[in-house]
Structure formats: C-alpha cells, structure tokens
Amino acid sequence: MKRLIALLTAGVMIALLAGCRKQEASAQIFAMDTVMGVTAYGGSAEKAVKAAEEEILRLEDMLSRTDPKSQVSRLNGSDGAAVAVDEEIVSLIREAGTYSQATGGAFDITIAPVVAAWGFTTDTYQVPEQADVDALLAAVGMEHVTLAESQVTLERGTEIDLGGIAKGYASDKLEAIFEEHQVEHGMVELGGNILLIGSKPDGTAWRLGVQDPAKPNEAAYAAIVQLEDAFAVTSGSYQRYFEQDGKTYHHIIDPATGRPADSGLTSVTVVTDRGSGSGTMCDALSTALFVMGEEQALEFWRGSDYAFELILVTEDGRVVVTKGLEEALMETKESGYTYEIVS
Ligand code: ADP
Ligand code: MG
C-alpha cells in the first residue's frame, strides 16, 4: 500500500513538472506565396515546429507552379508525355479529381492555363480575350489527366495548378506531425487555411476571425467563431485580385466560363472537425463553393456526404452560417453585416 502511494505521488509529481515545463514553440514561414504561422504547446513542441517548417518547404518544392524544378512544373512542361512522379503527388491529383467530380467541375486543378492567362500565376495581370480563354478551356477537365501508380500523363495543352488545394494538404501533413510529437494545443495558419489542435493552452476555445472581405487590409472581421480541434479554410475574392478600367478581377476562376467567379459571394469559409474531414477537403470545397454561389453552395451542403459547416459572406452584406456553427458563432456588432443561420 505504501508503495502504491509513493508511486501515485511520483505520478502526480511528474504531471506537475510536465505542467510547468510545457514546451512552447512557434515559427513564421514565407512559403507558397503567403505568410504562414505555426504554433505548438506541449509534447515536443519545438521538434514539431521544426518538422512543420521542413514539411512546408518540401511541399512547396514539390507543388510549386513557378519553380521550374517542381514535379508540378515537370508535369506541366511534359507536352503530352507520361512523367514519372512521386506516388504522393499522384494521390493528391486523384483526390483533387474526386472533389472535381463531387462539385460538378467547380473545383478543377486543370484550370491552370486559364489562371495563367489572367496573369495570376506570375503576377502580371491582364484581362485575356474571351476567344483565347475559350481555346484554353478545351483542355480543361480531369478527363485530360491519366494517372498510374507513380506516373501522370497530361494531354497536350492540359496543365495543373494545385494552388486551390496545396495549403489545405499541407495543413493535413502538419496535423500528422503535431500528433506524432504529442502537441497538446496548436494553431497552424497557412494563408487562410487554419488548423486548430485542441483548445487554447488556457483551456478556452480558439477564436477564429473571418476576415471582412470589404476591408481586406484591416483587422476587421465579418464574423468570429469559437472552435477547437478543427480545420477552417477561407477562399475569398479579396485575397488576390487586380483592377482594370474600374473593374475588379480576382483569382478564383469559374471553369464554366474561364472568368473570375461572379457568384455574389465575397468569401466562403469551410469548417470541419478534426477526424470528420481534412484540410485538403476544406480547401477544395472553399474554392468550389465560392464558384457555386450561395444557393448552390447551401444545396451542396445539405446534400453532401462530406461533413462540414459553412460561413458565407455575400456581396450584399450578409453572413450566412450553417446550423452546426450556431453555437460557435459570435456576431460582431460593429461589422455592419446581418447574420442568418440556415439549416
Ligand atoms: P488561396 O490560394 O487564396 O487560399 P483558394 O484555395 O481558393 O485560395 O485557391 C485559389 C487558387 O486555386 C487560385 O490562385 C488558382 O491557383 C487556383 N484556382 C482558381 N480557380 C480554381 C478552380 N475553379 N478550381 C481549382 N483551383 C482553382
Ligand atoms: Mg481552396
């Protein structure tokens, strides 16, 4: 009995010591054309953050559209020939294909040449002629992509752009790294792609601010939601755009028209619980549902097998939130938006 008590006490001591010495680590990384933040508490937080940085750079090397040495660039320059690539990228392309199919083509990584024609790949923006866009659209569609175990063939003229899914995929890889290093609380912010591990270290929920699309350069929020153990990904027309002749053109292209999606939305946030969905899923769906617009997006939400919730911000000043986030939603009175819960 005495021994048991001694053991118990030792157990408590270790727990207390661990409590005092909870590791904390964070890093800021510039990659994938955006600023990324990684923060971890508990477990081997320092190792986790280091590994996360390395992983982000590894993925950038593999998936970049602008680095001529990346596997994506090799595929895009293949001129119709089969190219040997890592199995990892084959399965990511395969997964992208499933989102394409599920969203009726609203999400489509083969939109790449059209994205480039608008100048979004190289930041040399221009409004292309519709005839040129139409010609490019002939090579858009996953039917132009053939996958083997570690080989990809793109038909001549077809290119891929994983920009609509890469950061979400990176957040999934970071989730695995944080788990491996027993991180207890953490936050990963990859340019609009959020991963939350546990609660905040003080035990309260993380507060996620949904950027007010009307004030892209201010700390202004259209909504705030309280979340734990979740992925949340935002796609918005305010994230990358240019102006010409008084008109604004943004970077999310409707594959049906080859033009920036004009769906009445200014941002779409897709939220899922860790375990129910992935960062990759949220990233693909946020892009796709932005293309679809409010009505179709809500219809998709109601009918989909994917487990997720939505925060839509509309051009006409509404924030539309699906039922599952009702409790989590903190309306921001100063925002000027009106709030609607839909089911
Ligand atoms: P961000 O990259 O700003 O986080 P998204 O996840 O919404 O935003 O992805 C937009 C990027 O995806 C574009 O910059 C482009 O590279 C690519 N893209 C644009 N339109 C589509 C589309 N309809 N389907 C798939 N990818 C797209
Ligand atoms: Mg996306």
**Region 184-204: what's the mean pLDDT?**
97
- pLDDT score recorded for residue 320: 98
Q: What is the pLDDT of residues 86-104, one digit of tens each?
A: 999 999 999 999 999 999 9
Cβ–Cβ under 8 Å, residues 145 and 158: yes
| The length of the chain, given as a count of residues | 343
Question: CA 265, CA 163: separation in Å to the nearest integer?
Answer: 20
Check pocket membership of 189 for ligand 1, CB cut-off 6 A: no
Q: What is the pLDDT of residues 310-322, one digit of tens each?
A: 999 999 999 999 9
Q: What is the pLDDT of residues 53-90, one digit of tens each?
A: 999 999 999 999 999 999 999 999 999 999 999 999 99
Check pocket membership of 112 for ligand 1, CB cut-off 6 A: no
Query: What are the φ and ψ backbone dihedral angles of 25, each rounded to 5 degrees?
Result: -150, 150
Question: CA 319, CA 338: separation in Å to the nearest integer?
Answer: 6
CA dist 235 to 2, 291, 315, Å?
Answer: 60, 10, 14
Asked if residue 20 has pLDDT above 90, the reply is: no
Strand, coil or helix: what is 40?
strand
Tokens 């941002």 -> residue: 267
Give 205's DSSP letter. Answer: P
| C-beta contacts of 66-74 below 8 A and 24+ residues apart | 66/121, 66/122, 72/160, 72/161, 72/162
Check pocket membership of 257 for ligand 1, CB cut-off 6 A: no
Which residue, by CA, sits nearest to atom 26 of ligand 1?
164
Question: CA 172, CA 52: separation in Å to the nearest integer?
Answer: 11
- pLDDT score recorded for residue 137: 98
Among residues 343, 296, 283, 294, the alpha carbon closest in space to that of 318 is found at: 294
Asked if residue 19 has pLDDT above 90, the reply is: no
Among residues 111, 119, 162, the alpha carbon closest in space to that of 137 is found at: 111
Q: Where are any strands of DSSP class E within the chain?
A: 24-31, 34-41, 82-84, 145-148, 151-154, 185-190, 193-197, 206-211, 221-227, 230-236, 241-244, 247-250, 253-254, 259-260, 265-273, 309-314, 318-322, 329-330, 338-342
Check pocket membership of 177 for ligand 1, CB cut-off 6 A: no
Which residue, by CA, sits nearest to atom 14 of ligand 1?
251
Question: CA 286, CA 211: separation in Å to the nearest integer?
Answer: 14
How remote is the CA of residue 252 from the centroid of ligand 1, in Å?
Answer: 5
Cβ–Cβ under 8 Å, residues 116 and 94: no
Asked if residue 11 has pLDDT above 80, the reply is: no
Tokens of 254: 């409707």
Asked if residue 4 has pLDDT above 50, the reply is: no
Element (H, E) at 95: helix 87-102
Q: What is the pLDDT of residues 292-307, one digit of tens each?
A: 999 999 999 999 999 9
Question: CA 256, CA 273: separation in Å to the nearest integer?
Answer: 31
Strand, coil or helix: what is 116?
helix
Mean pLDDT (the chain, rounded) = 93
User: Could you tell me the pTM of the whole model?
Assistant: 0.93
What is the separation, in whole angstroms, between the first and last Cα of the chain? 57
Question: CA 128, CA 54: separation in Å to the nearest integer?
Answer: 38
Q: What is the pLDDT of residues 216-268, one digit of tens each?
A: 999 999 999 999 999 999 999 998 999 999 999 999 999 999 999 999 999 99
Domains of the chain: 5-62+164-342 (3.10.520.10), 68-163 (1.10.3980.10)
Q: Ligand 1 pocket test: which of 287, 289, 290, 296 has the largest number of ligand atoms within 8 Å of its C-beta?
A: 287
Cβ–Cβ under 8 Å, residues 242 and 122: no
- SS3 of the chain: helix, strand, coil, percent, to 5: 35, 30, 35
How remote is the CA of residue 43 from the centroid of ligand 1, in Å?
Answer: 34
Cβ–Cβ under 8 Å, residues 262 and 233: no
- pLDDT score recorded for residue 304: 97
| Angle at the Cα of 122 from the Cα atoms of 115 and 50, rounded to 5 degrees | 100
Query: Sorting pLDDT into bands at 50, 70 and 90, what band is 16?
Result: very low
